[in-house]
Structure 1
Amino acid sequence: MIPLKSKFKTSVNIKLDLGSYWIQDRYIPTPTHIESLTGILEGFLDYDKKSHILVGSYGSGKSMIGALISNIVSKNVGVTDINKLIAKFDKVNTEESAVIELLQKIQNHNKTFIPVVINGKQGRFREAVISSIHKSLKQFNLNFTLPSTVDEIKSKIITWREQFNETYKKFQILLEEKKWDLNVFLSDIEEYDIAAIDWFKEMYPSLTAGAEFTLSYNIDLNEHLSYILKELDGRGYGLFLVYDEFGRFLQSVDKYETVEAMQDIQDIAELADHHKSNNFNVLLITHRNLKQYFLSYGEELQNEFQRIQGRFRIYHTHSDPATFIRLSCQVTENYREFWNKDYYFESEIIKYDLFPELNGREKKSIIVENSFPLHPVTMFALPRLANAVAQNERTLFTFLESNEVGGLKRYFEVERTWYYPHNLFDYFEPAFQEFMTDSLIGRSYYKYLRVQKKVGNSPTANFETQLLKLITLWDISNLGNNQKLTKEFMAFALNWDVLKVNKITSLLESKKLIRYSLFNNNWEIFEGSSIDVSKKIEEIKNEGIDKKQKLTLLSNVLDNRYEYPKRYNDEKNMIRFATIYPVYASDLTLEFSTNSPNVDKSSDMNIFYVIPDKEIEDTKNLILELTKKDQTTLFVLPYQELLNIDDNLSKLVSIEKLLEDKYFLNEDLIVEEELLKIKENTLFTIKETLELITHFKKSYWFHNGKDLKIKSKISLSENLSNIMWDIFGKTPKINNESFNRRNISKQQLKAAKEVVDAIIGIKSNVNELKGPSKLIYASIVKNNKINEANETEEISELRLNLMNQLKLGQGDFTTLLAVFKDKPFGIREPNIPVLLTSVLKQEWKNLMFYHKDGSYINDMDGDILFDRMLDKPENYSFSYQSLNDKYKEVIKDIDECFELYIDESDASFHSSVRTNRILSKWFRSLPKITQKTNKLSKKALLFKQLIKKGEFEPDVALDSLYELDIDKNSIKLIKNESENYYDNHKGLIETTIFNLTGVNSFDELLDSIQKKTEFEKVDNKLNNLILKSNSENWVDILSFELVGVKREEWSDATDEVFFKTINSLIKIDSSTDLKDQYYEVKIENEIMAIPKVDLSSKGKLIYSNMKTDLELMGRKLPNEEIIAVVFRVLVDLYKENR
């Protein structure tokens, strides 16, 4: 047996080691303890929170901190020992000054804090807390159980009375024997009468089959603790509750007790932080983040615990590698008696720098000379592995003396040689098994188990397993960030030569058990499929891959798709950008254009990464010519060929095709993951190859016929800024980055439309703008001082260019847009309508817009400008014309004659448009019969035609009005004629009917019809309608009933049909003998005319059914009454339908 150093202690048990001198004597200050020590001590001094949670892996010193603070605050540490402890901190570094100051102050604290230590699972939380407090108080000869005892006695009596009647009766008998009334007894109990309480405890077993009286802890925890804290405060004491292994309690708590436990945890946190005595401090110690203990619970409980956790101050501690290294060298001193010192690893220690926390002298004296039997890589990995696992009591220190599989003690007794890092796997494997498969550690471990089964029983199986263990440990501990698993390093870690490493890695690769990740520059466990994926990829490649597919895929995998002219963007307060496209050199010709469908038209510039698949010099000369044609284009050409780039692109396309092949993926469950891993490496290789371009290493950057010699991202940005200033130097500055872009939100679009409407003068004016619309107006119009004396130079030049287009008289709307979009302005599209209307505000009334078919856009507003004209500018045109003086007189006459129809909002329109809008409003106010008729005077008809024409060609219509040469009186006559037509038409109908019937008024007409026979009244529709009318509505009734259209909506054709119908009805009325066509039925003084009609088949059926029903009625009614019923029905139907 090999003894360990006597002063070494593998673990601390706060409950058992409380008060031990060696706690503060052997405590070694470490950086990871500073925060927790500071925070907890501050709580005792009332500086901060008094409720704390300490999280850390086993062996990281959590319990040591709890024991150390317990000893200090309970005054178990003398002044001398405190000063020694302070001296230890003072030697470390200046960061511990806060702890030193707190330790000095804590010596003079006026309270002694009684440590209450709970360890692991001890039943219900409140039971564990209360019972532990009372046990600790008893050690200080303090007893505050009376309130709890009184509450318990009262609870027992109530339970007996309500649930155990026989027991309650026996209790009452015992009270009577003691001459006690129940109320008096309860009163004595509540006054803490010791005699009454002791009597109850003595007689309790006689009522409960011998059970002793104990507290059930179903009490108010908050109230009980408050009582104890108040009593302790009066005696100069406080409580320090330390719950070690609190995670064990959380793991084992019953789901039905969870709510109670959570409430109790919250209560003690609040009590510690808010009790007026300030003498209660709480420390919960666990080895995992608390959230992990509740992953199996519902989301609601998880959120509730997260809220409770927020009431605690939380600290994290972890194993300190430097401390472990120093301790382990001391502890393993006796092992080195068996070391022949033939292997020092000195060169490797220098090469790999695994111990940055040690200086050069320490690395030699501790690692090189005194690490045996712990291999340096083991020393490096062990603290980090312990921190990562943090799952059980397999810690740094238990490892040093463990006799379990993988433990140092047992290993050395058998092997008597170096302890290599892969052996750690055996020691920590039970800890790995505790992790669920959905955790990072669990996934790594179970991946190892799957591949280890595939190693087989070959002669090299043991070596293969060792390497798999090493890779798994590296993954679990996340050590790849510190040291990559290169072949040279693995040879050092396993004490193999590189040839052996090459052999074993090749074997494992061939079995698809490991792979080298180019992206991570590290070896990793990899479980491959049973399919020969590489062969499948080659088959697809051999079928041929289209260039377009390769370029599309390459575009998608580029880390940067865009580059920005930062200085230009900052100065112009906007975002211009250049889009990057890969292109094959063989696709470049002198006809190459950036207007191809594959090029994004929204980008300000284009950068083409040229993949050289032909002679570099030829490509270079071609590109120099191309760049002279387009200033917005850069071509990037590497100095040399991009090695295997085309082959790797073909491979990548093949992988993507396989990933989309569902049938192929279903052949093996693992094949998709294997494809993704191959894709990852392929992508890395492609990106690495492209670094000649993307990292500005060895490439030409051609623009405008010369090489810009760009060597960095900053240089590229600066060159892009210079180019943008050359092209778009006159872009107006718009201080609204969220709006000054190609695509805006719906809210911004709505606001921009409101701005345009306000500028034009529709609905509102610019002073009424609010919110987003006000901001847009201010950032575009106000900031550029548009239409002000000190207007910006950019806006003035923009106006000049626009006026040059307008002075041509007419053109396509696209030509106006081109002024805004092209050099030197390059204005973003959403800004154009606002700038168009504001810059041309003074000329707006002279500007008219037309549809593609030539029709005028009458109601121009923000909606039309944004939603239609910007979207399809090729469908619109414009004309620009100022008003000729010759039209002023006719416009003035129309204004005076149609004054009621003038709208102030029309003032912003061209004079011809405004005039037509006035006339159109008047015209639309007329009845439709007036609008449609041609039965007006020649001038009135021509006037009406010009109004209609003006809706599409207002300028032509105004000119035609002028050519009519009509004065104000003529216009008034036309207006009166049109407005009176409807009433005159009614009079015409009346006169026509009166003349045809030989009467002079409606009353005479009605009288003449009433004198006609019943046959004539019923048969003639005209007579029938007149009888239903009166002198006010008879014309309207006739108009509608005879032609089916209201008179105000008649056309001339309807008018003609009406008069023909009237003539026909009057002639029939005077010439037809109706007696043979009707049955005459006399009723007193009235006569009913019943038409003689042959019954249809349906009529015959109704007649048959009615006759049958009447015959059946004859059984219950006399025939006379049945006939009377039929007669009554006949009369009613006749009158209703007359």
Structure 2
Amino acid sequence: MLGHNEEFKAEFQKDRKRFKTYFVESDKATFYRIAQEYTKNLQEERLVLNFESADSKWILKKYNLFNELNHQETEKLIVEGSYPLNPLALFLLPRLSNVFGQNERTLFTFLESEETGGLTNFVAKKTEGMYYPHMLFDYFFQNSMNEFLSDESFKSLKTFAKITNKIRVTKQNKGHLDLLKIITLWDLSSATNVVKLNDELLMFGTGQSLEAVRSNLNDLVQQKMLRFNRILGQWELNEGSSVLVDEMLNEERSLLKVNNELRLESLKKLLEKNFYLATDYNDELNITRFMQVNLLTSEQLLEDGFLEKIEFDADGYIYYVIPSDEISYSKSIAATASIRDKRLVFAVTDREFKSIRNSLDRLIGLQSIHSNKKLLSEHNRLDEEISVLLAETQFEIKEFLQDFESFQENIKWFHQGDRLSVNHQVQLENKISEVMYSMYPDTPEIRNDSINRRNLNGMQTKAIYTVLNNVIKTPILSGWELKVKDQIT
């Protein structure tokens, strides 16, 4: 049973007008010390039961949650001094109080509260064990959370209320609810800005085994109550639609004729850069020359007549080559090393096309569903769910393309049969400039503003062609300045 520290209890009950308002958010370390002072009377009878002490020290070494304190202070104040408070609960308390704290729900009343969720209430009912973060949910929202649901900044709380509205707490689903509560509190307190919850932190913060955490998370995902946002790398509450999207996707795929050409078309739309400039060359000659990025499968590269089929509508092409398997990878390397056309640069990845084929098929199916406005209107929240899935699938595929666009070591670059060392965009653009100097050494610099525009009238076009032909064919012809003037005039 908790023996109340009468000195602290008396101080809490004094007239609040004697004190200045103090924002704990600006100095959380002060609250941690106050909490340690309040709980120190528990140490003799409960510290011996702190079996989680070693785990707590390990977690707090790995995750720097209390950067206001040094390592020694963290162990003394947080792990040992504030037991039975779980360190994650102590981490959340000042942040939650800053958002939801009211006169009757403050950091200090929490410590002495005998109400549900209060620390004194917890200690009075339990002789061992830790006060876990999800228990704070019962303290801050003991009566009702309705007063906060109209506030758009508490979106996760609103989602929690919706998805748990008809759930009755049982031994079987308590682990599920505990996870939903801690994930909700983590979002509401903006704790994700400090560290994102993962399986290890959820295990430590709920007292569940790692196997139980993973099983419960999987159950919640299957029930569409929870989803892992791969873009942000964090767990989020999810109010999914009633439709089984996977079944809808399978039906959509059966109607679509998906082939590698369509897959490559979808893949190309996700490129961050569609071309690379000959920067040095362009700056010197006041012109824009570039090489356009295209995608190839190994089958397309190895086809007979590949080079003859290329229709140049750019100064050159950079081909990202994706092999089908290990054998075609070796053949692709050999093929690119034998091509001598200076207008072509090749980049070959060792990651096989099949590694993203399913994701591309999923993307194509999702895009087809998303374009069907009639279907979206027939199912509540389907539009939102498809949009989320589209963003995640695109993110997954972009990770594949990042190997090319961030010049990773597994990409081999070739030009005119030579292996290139390309570790940065600048190196690639320098090479393109080198190629342009070789191909177009006598490009004239045009400074006339009436010519440097996208659209010219007929007379201007004819005149500029004549002038440029004369300059290129006879660059040192005496008196050509006068001819240029006559033609443009």
TM tier, smaller = 0.7 to 0.9
Task: Say if 1:377 and 1:420, in contact at 8 Å, map to a contact too.
Answer: yes
Matches of 1:362 and 1:648, distance apart in 2: 48
1:410 Cα deviation (Å)?
2.5
492 and 595 in structure 1: CA distance in 2 versus 1, 3 angstrom threshold: same
Letter of the structure 1 residue corresponding to residue 18 of structure 2: D
Q: Please state how far the C-alpha of 1:427 moved relative to its aligned partner.
A: 2.3
Shift of 1:658: 0.8
Deviations 1:90-143 (A, max 9, x none): xxxxxxxxxxxxxxxxxxxxxxxxxxxxxxxxxxxxxxxxxxxxxxxxxxxxxx
Rounded to whole Å, the distance in 2 between the matches of 1:689 and 1:446 is 36
Distance change >3 Å, CA 449–CA 801, structure 1 → 2: same
Q: Distance in 2 between matches of 1:594 and 1:387?
A: 68
Residue matched to 2:76: 365
Q: Distance in 2 between matches of 1:383 and 1:636?
A: 52
Aligned: 1:60 with 2:23: yes
Structure 1 Cα separation of the partners of residues 280 and 6 of structure 2: 67
One-letter amino acid of the structure 2 residue matched with residue 342 of structure 1: F
* Deviation of 1:456 (Å): 5.4
Matched, 1:719 2:431: yes
Encode CA deviations 1:528-557: one digit per residue, 9 max, x unaligned: 222221122123334431333322222222
- 2:299 corresponding residue in structure 1: 586
Distance 1:388 1:739 in 2: 61
Match of 1:1105 in 2: none
Q: Which residue of 1 aligns with 2:152?
A: 439
Deviations 1:67-111 (A, max 9, x none): xxxxxxxxxxxxxxxxxxxxxxxxxxxxxxxxxxxxxxxxxxxxx
CA positional deviation for 1:59 = 5.3
Q: Is the 8 A contact 1:799 1:840 kept in 2?
A: no
Other-structure match for 2:209: 497
Residue 540 (structure 1) aligned to one of 249, 252, 256: 252
| SS of the residue 2:7 aligns to | coil
- Which residue is 2:179 aligned to? 467
| CA distance in structure 1 between the aligned counterparts of 2:276 and 2:124, rounded to whole angstroms | 64
Superposition pairs of residues 728-877 of structure 1, within 5 angstroms? 728-731=440-443, 743=454, 800-803=471-474, 841-842=482-483, 845=486
Per-residue deviation, residues 662-690 of structure 1 (Å, max 9, x unmatched): 23323321222222222233223212233
Which whole-Å deviations, capped at 9, do the CAs of 1:950-994 have from their partners, x for residues lacking one?
A: xxxxxxxxxxxxxxxxxxxxxxxxxxxxxxxxxxxxxxxxxxxxx
Q: CA deviation at 1:587?
A: 2.3
8 Å contact 1:319–1:384 — kept in the other structure?
Answer: no
Aligned residue in 1 for 2:18: 17
CA contact (8 A) 1:655 1:679 kept: yes
Q: CA deviation at 1:422?
A: 0.9
Calculate the TM-score normalised by the size of structure 2.
0.83
- Do the aligned partners of 1:648 and 1:686 also contact (CA within 8 Å) in 2? yes
Q: CA deviation at 1:370?
A: 1.1
Deviations 1:766-792 (A, max 9, x none): xxxxxxxxxxxxxxxxxxxxxxxxxxx
What residue identity is the alignment partner of 2:425? Answer: K
The CA distance in 2 between the partners of 1:803 and 1:13, in whole Å, is 97
Asked if the contact 2:443/2:472 (under 8 Å) is kept, the reply is no
Q: Does 1:322 align with 2:29?
A: yes
Alignment of 1:389-788 (within 5 A): 389=100, 394-416=105-127, 417-429=129-141, 433-435=146-148, 437=150, 439-441=152-154, 443-453=155-165, 455=167, 459-543=171-255, 544-571=257-284, 576-588=289-301, 589-592=303-306, 601=313, 603-613=314-324, 615-626=328-339, 628-629=340-341, 631-642=342-353, 644-697=355-408, 698-731=410-443, 743=454
Q: Give 2:51's match in structure 1, choosing from 327, 333, 342.
A: 342
Instruction: Determine the C-alpha separation between the residues in 2 that align with 1:718 and 1:545.
Output: 38
Q: 1:611 to 1:13 in 2, by over 3 A?
A: farther
* Contact 1:11/1:59 (8 A) holds in 2: no
Q: Who is 2:4 aligned against? A: 3
* CA drift at 1:610: 1.8
Q: In the alignment, which of 374, 391, 416 is matched to residue 85 of structure 2? A: 374
Residue type of the alignment partner of 2:51: D
SS in 1 for 2:348: strand
d(CA) in 2 for partners of 1:841, 1:613: 60
Q: Deviations over 1:434-482 (max 9, x none)?
A: 44546232x1111111111364566422111111111111222232232
1:701 and 1:710 in contact (8 A); partners too: yes
**CA apart distance, 1:512:** 1.3
- Counterpart CA distance in 2 for 1:472 and 1:461 is 17
**Distance across 2 between alignment mates of 1:384 and 1:438:** 18
Q: Work out whether residues 455 and 465 of structure 1, in 8 Å CA contact, stay in contact via their aligned partners in 2.
A: no
What is the letter of the counterpart of residue 449 of structure 1?
A
- What displacement does 1:418 show? 1.6
Contact (CA 8 Å) 2:363, 2:390: kept in 1 or not? Answer: yes
Using CA pairs below 8 Å that are at least 6 residues apart, which structure has the higher relative contact order? 2
TM-aligned CA deviation for residue 398 of structure 1: 3.4
How many corresponding residue pairs? 470
Whether contact under 8 Å (1:319, 1:386) holds in the other structure is no
* Equivalent position SS for 1:516: strand
Q: 1:728 to 1:843 in 2, by over 3 A?
A: closer
Is the contact made by 1:319 and 1:383 (CA closer than 8 Å) also made in structure 2? no
CA separation of 1:613/1:453 partners in 2, compared to 1, >3 Å: closer, same or farther? same
- How big is the shift at 1:387? 3.5
Runs of 4 or more consecutive aligned structure 1 residues displaced over 6 Å after TM superposition? 11-14, 390-393, 594-597, 738-742
| 1:485/1:522 contact within 8 Å kept | yes
TM-aligned CA deviation for residue 715 of structure 1 = 3.1
* Alpha carbons 1:487, 1:502 under 8 Å: kept: yes
Q: Distance in 1 between matches of 2:109 and 2:22?
A: 8
Once residues 14 and 279 of structure 2 are traced to their aligned partners in structure 1, the CA distance between those partners, rounded to angstroms, is 59
- Residue type matched to 1:413 in 2? A
Structure 1 distance, partners of 2:194, 2:374, is 42
Q: Which structure 1 residue ranges, 5 or more long, are not aligned?
A: 24-57, 62-317, 744-748, 761-795, 807-837, 848-860, 862-907, 909-1138
The aligned counterpart of 1:332 is: 39
How do residues 218-257 of structure 1 correspond to structure 2 at under 5 angstroms? none
Given the two structures, how large is their TM-score scaled by the length of structure 1? 0.38
Please report how far the alpha carbon of residue 708 of structure 1 lies from its aligned counterpart in structure 2 after TM superposition: 0.9
| Counterparts of 2:293 and 2:144, CA distance in 1 | 50
Q: 1:311-365: CA deviations, max 9, x gaps? A: xxxxxxx342222222221222223344123220222221222222222211222
Distance of 2:126 and 2:77 partners within structure 1: 22
Counterpart CA distance in 2 for 1:639 and 1:742 is 43
Structural mapping, 1:42-121, within 5 Å:
60=23
Maintained 8 Å contact 1:455/1:464: no
Within 2, Cα distance between the matches of 1:568 and 1:10? 74
How many angstroms apart in 1 are the aligned matches of 2:283 and 2:72?
Answer: 52
Shift of 1:372: 0.7
* C-alpha RMSD of the superposition: 3.8
Contact residue 324 and residue 354 of structure 2 kept, 8 A:
no
Q: Whole-Å Cα distance in 2 between the matches of residues 647 and 423 of structure 1?
A: 42
Q: CA 1:383 to 1:564, structure 2 compared with 1: closer, same or farther past 3 Å? A: farther
Instruction: Output the CA distance in 2 between the equivalents of 1:509 and 1:667.
Output: 23
1:406 to 1:734, Cα distance in 2 relative to 1, 3 A: farther
What is the CA deviation profile of residues 576-622 of structure 1, one whole-angstrom value per residue up to 9, with x for unaligned ones?
Answer: 5443232322223353369868x8x3x54432222222511222233
Q: Report percent identity of matched pairs.
A: 29
Mapped partners of 2:242, 2:203: distance in 1: 30
SS in 1 for 2:232: coil
